[in-house]
């Protein structure tokens, strides 16, 4: 079998098949993937990572597609990470979007990867961050991460991006606004897609007034609200331009360093959490007796948690827990 360092060289030589193979290791979180990431990590840091999020039906896949096309036309190398909300149960078979994405990959020189959201706490943002690193080392200059905009895990994924765009759409009702609240505080650009629909003027006005009220403390960057009709590729030029301007702003203001720092910190924590979880799941950690004691009401959950933490610590001392 090929050594990680050799696959790494193929990846930095911009071999997309090698990148695909590397990403499979990354997703499995295996030792090969770990070694590959360690080898390539010094080559990262060049990419502009753009997170795009929005409710189902907002047309965010279509928007990402149009933005990728636009970026290619400007001679950027582009990667897309589409976070697939399907579970192993459904295996993504009902996701028409993913098929449309593959058309794009064939049509343009865009590298597309779909990631499943299945699995453990912290698993998704870990896989996304590692995948971003690999694409970055492979020379992708712009990496789009597309995900649905609700849930803490999705918010965590967006925290791995330099620039976050939220896609809104007219006519989906009041609930929609509430859904996005969790992501509002980290959005840098608002897009109102399907802007030919009734109500788009109103949603643009609402967003602008909300931003006026809330966006203090955002020193320097004025969050734009931009209309688009992604399916007709209308408005996507100015959106990509705003994204690039935001990246320039981050660099110029020193905020890019601040964001990178936050991203790394979040990532370290999720790596450690994952390690703890794996250890607790492993047979030898034996939390089953604690579970039984909680079920029998002999221990409350926190007392049992304290005991489990103690055992994991002993395991660690004995070399049983590793990242």
Q: Kindly state the DSSP code that residue 283 receives in the 8-state scheme.
A: G
245 contributes a contact to its own copies by CB under 8 A = no
Q: Please identify, using beta-carbon distances, which residue of 56 and 109 lies nearer to its own copies.
A: 56
The residue whose two tokens read 């060049």 is: 46
118 contributes a contact to its own copies by CB under 8 A = yes
Residues in contact with its own copies, counted by CB under 8 A, come to a total of: 90
87 contributes a contact to its own copies by CB under 8 A = yes
Query: Minimum distance between the CB of residue 92 and its own copies, rounded to whole angstroms?
Result: 8
317 contributes a contact to its own copies by CB under 8 A = yes
DSSP H helices, the chain, are 4-12, 16-28, 31-40, 60-73, 96-107, 123-137, 152-158, 174-179, 181-184, 200-214, 236-253, 255-281, 288-295, 301-317
308 contributes a contact to its own copies by CB under 8 A = yes
| Alpha carbons within 13 A on the beta-carbon side of 299 | 16
198 contributes a contact to its own copies by CB under 8 A = no
257 contributes a contact to its own copies by CB under 8 A = yes
Query: Minimum distance between the CB of residue 130 and its own copies, rounded to whole angstroms?
Result: 8
Q: Please identify, using beta-carbon distances, which residue of 178 and 205 lies nearer to its own copies.
A: 178
Sheet with 142-148: list strands edge to edge. Answer: 110-116, 78-84, 142-148, 48-54, 163-168, 189-192, 225-227
Applying CB under 8 A, which part among 191-199, 218-226, 243-251, 302-310 lies near its own copies? 302-310
297 contributes a contact to its own copies by CB under 8 A = yes
173 in the Ramachandran plot: left (φ > 0), alpha (ψ -120 to 50) or beta?
A: left
Contact 146, 171 (CB under 8 A): no
Query: Minimum distance between the CB of residue 144 and its own copies, rounded to whole angstroms?
Result: 18
Binder among 122, 170, 224, 227 for its own copies (CB under 8 A): 122
Query: Minimum distance between the CB of residue 260 and its own copies, rounded to whole angstroms?
Result: 6
The whole-angstrom separation of Cα 137 and Cα 163 is 19
Site for its own copies in 35-54 (CB under 8 A): 37-38, 41-42, 44-45
Contact 131, 92 (CB under 8 A): no
Binder among 32, 154, 164, 192 for its own copies (CB under 8 A): 154
The whole-angstrom separation of Cα 57 and Cα 74 is 28
220 contributes a contact to its own copies by CB under 8 A = no
Applying CB under 8 A, which part among 13-21, 74-82, 137-145, 268-276 lies near its own copies? 268-276
Query: Minimum distance between the CB of residue 156 and its own copies, rounded to whole angstroms?
Result: 7
Applying CB under 8 A, which part among 101-109, 232-240, 241-249, 255-263 lies near its own copies? 255-263
CA dist list (Å): 264 to 11, 52, 115, 171? 23, 20, 21, 38
Q: Please identify, using beta-carbon distances, which residue of 24 and 73 lies nearer to its own copies.
A: 24
18: its two tokens: 């090698």
178 contributes a contact to its own copies by CB under 8 A = yes
256 contributes a contact to its own copies by CB under 8 A = no
Kindly tell me the burial class for residue 86, based on how many C-beta atoms sit within 10 Å of its own C-beta (0-12, 13-18, 19 or more): middle
């Amino acid at each position: 079998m090929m050594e990680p360092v050799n696959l790494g060289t193929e990846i930095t030589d911009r071999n997309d098949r090698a990148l695909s193979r590397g990403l499979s290791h990354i997703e499995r979180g295996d030792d090969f993937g770990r070694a590959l990431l360690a080898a390539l990590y010094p080559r990262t840091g060049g990419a502009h990572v753009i997170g795009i999020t929005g409710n189902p039906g907002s047309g965010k896949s279509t928007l990402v597609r149009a933005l990728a096309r636009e970026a290619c036309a400007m001679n950027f190398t582009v990667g897309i990470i589409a976070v697939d909300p399907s579970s192993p149960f459904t295996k993504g078979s009902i996701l028409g979007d993913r098929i449309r994405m593959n058309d794009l990959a064939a049509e343009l020189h865009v590298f597309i990867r779909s990631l499943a959201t299945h699995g453990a706490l912290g698993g998704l943002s870990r896989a996304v961050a590692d995948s971003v690193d690999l694409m970055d080392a492979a020379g992708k200059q712009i990496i789009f991460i597309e995900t649905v905009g609700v849930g803490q895990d999705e918010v965590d994924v967006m925290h791995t991006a330099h620039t976050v765009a939220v896609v809104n759409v007219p006519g989906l009702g009041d609930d929609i606004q509430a859904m996005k609240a969790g992501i509002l505080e980290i959005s840098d650009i608002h897009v109102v897609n399907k802007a030919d629909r009734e109500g788009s003027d109103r949603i643009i006005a609402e967003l602008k007034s909300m931003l006026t009220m809330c966006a203090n403390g955002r020193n320097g960057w004025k969050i734009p609200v931009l209309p688009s009709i992604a399916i007709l590729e209308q408005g996507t030029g100015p959106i990509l331009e705003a994204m690039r301007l935001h990246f320039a702003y981050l660099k110029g203001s020193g905020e890019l360093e601040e964001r990178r720092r936050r991203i790394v910190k979040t990532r370290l924590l999720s790596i450690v959490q994952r390690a703890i979880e794996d250890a607790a799941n492993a047979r030898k950690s034996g939390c089953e007796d604690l579970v039984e004691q909680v079920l029998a009401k002999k221990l409350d959950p926190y007392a049992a948690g304290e005991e489990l933490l103690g055992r994991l610590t002993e395991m660690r001392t004995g070399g049983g827990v590793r990242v």
